Structure 1
Amino acid sequence: MMIPQGILIVFLFTLIHESIHRTPFRTQWLNDCIARVCSVLLVLPSDWFRYFHLAHHRFTQDHENDPELISPKPETMRQYLVHLSGIPVWWSHIKTLVINASGHCSDTFVPAKGHRKVRSEAQIMIAVYALMIAVSVHLQTAVLVYVWVLPAILGQPFLRIYLLAEHGRCPYVANMLENSRTTTTTWLVRKLAWNMPYHAEHHAYPTVPFYRLPEFHALIETELKQTENGYVRFHAKYIEQIR
């Protein structure tokens, strides 16, 4: 059961994503609250990620300014397997948390007015983790390891498989209908990912809420430049290109 549980945990990333766009709930405070709870489970500070993600939307596939391109997509089979393992992303999250907590955040997408916010956020998250560890030691229990840590580690490769299709092997151009990919998939995956397989649609018009994306897809489907029929097919083609 750890793998299904882990998939549910790591796909909270898509809920963080929606919450920082503030589309799941009507009130900003509730969106922000949900994002912060999920951020603890994924070791991904949500305020910092909001700055990161807004820059990604503004400069999608721009080598100079898209923060997602700081970590390049895998170009060899070894890089591909390491990427899917989830190890690099966990390390990146932990490193970001420590740097932000120390007050040494140098990310250009974080404005000067946001430095205090991301520092405080990281410090609070580290305090929460320290409290979790202290309580676990006091109670002599490893329950968090088995219901959270190990499942999340085992589930992360499935999130990597999903996310790589969003922009992997897409051209480095400004056109959002060309630099982002929409992937046809099952009802379950669409629900699990808050309709983000409609990714080109989301990038073209990020103000369209997740629950309207299927309708929006029907309107602009013929304009999409990058599409794929399923994640298995995407990865089969990806592997073929890097072998």
Structure 2
Amino acid sequence: MRGVIRALAVPVWRTLPWRTLGAAGAVGLLIPGLPRLSGAEPAGWVTLLLLRAAALVLGLGLAFLLDDPARPGTTPVPTGRAVRTALRVALVAPLAAVWWTAVLLLVPGAHRPPTGDVTLEAGAACALALALAGLTVRHSEDPHPGRPAATALLAAALFAPLLLPDDWPLFVPAGDPRWETAHDHWAWLLAAAGTIWLLTLHEPLRRPFRRRSPRPRRSG
């Protein structure tokens, strides 16, 4: 297995959507970085909002991680989807961790919310993005699952505060009495999204039905 992973590492690295990931990384760094460049010291609630926006941008970028224009040609290869997908995540995960550390360091320490809890929120957003992309890959043959996955993630982020019941809070300000309860919910969301993503790694038993075009009749 190690030999297979080593042989796949370079080809998979080359097929990763680096332009999309790089654009998401740049935008995500600008969100908390611009106030610091201007010399402004945002309030605590603004800082939390900026970090959540950066985490959402990271999730939107990772939603495109499974985009692979060569997917129709890689479907019949001996190496299963689980190995190829896990390798994609493994190659990007260290870079994402370094990027998130840089985002946290861009926020002034005096106004920085609890880093562990905010990192939990970012992890849940990333896991949800991967789960949505994995579901799209499993239930369609679209080689670009990033668009529907990113759209669904953005819709969830926008409408979740409006649709969730009051006794199941997620987006609460730092210092709110419901902070710990909210992050228990974030932990459940992370576990659920991670489980769904793992389940999407298996190859489907049946391929989506394709209507075959009728063969032209031979004349004469």
Question: Would you say same fold, with TM above 0.5?
Answer: no
Considering only CA atoms, is the larger Rg found in Structure 1 or Structure 2? 2
Using the size of structure 2 for normalisation, the TM-score is 0.28
Using the size of structure 1 for normalisation, the TM-score is 0.26
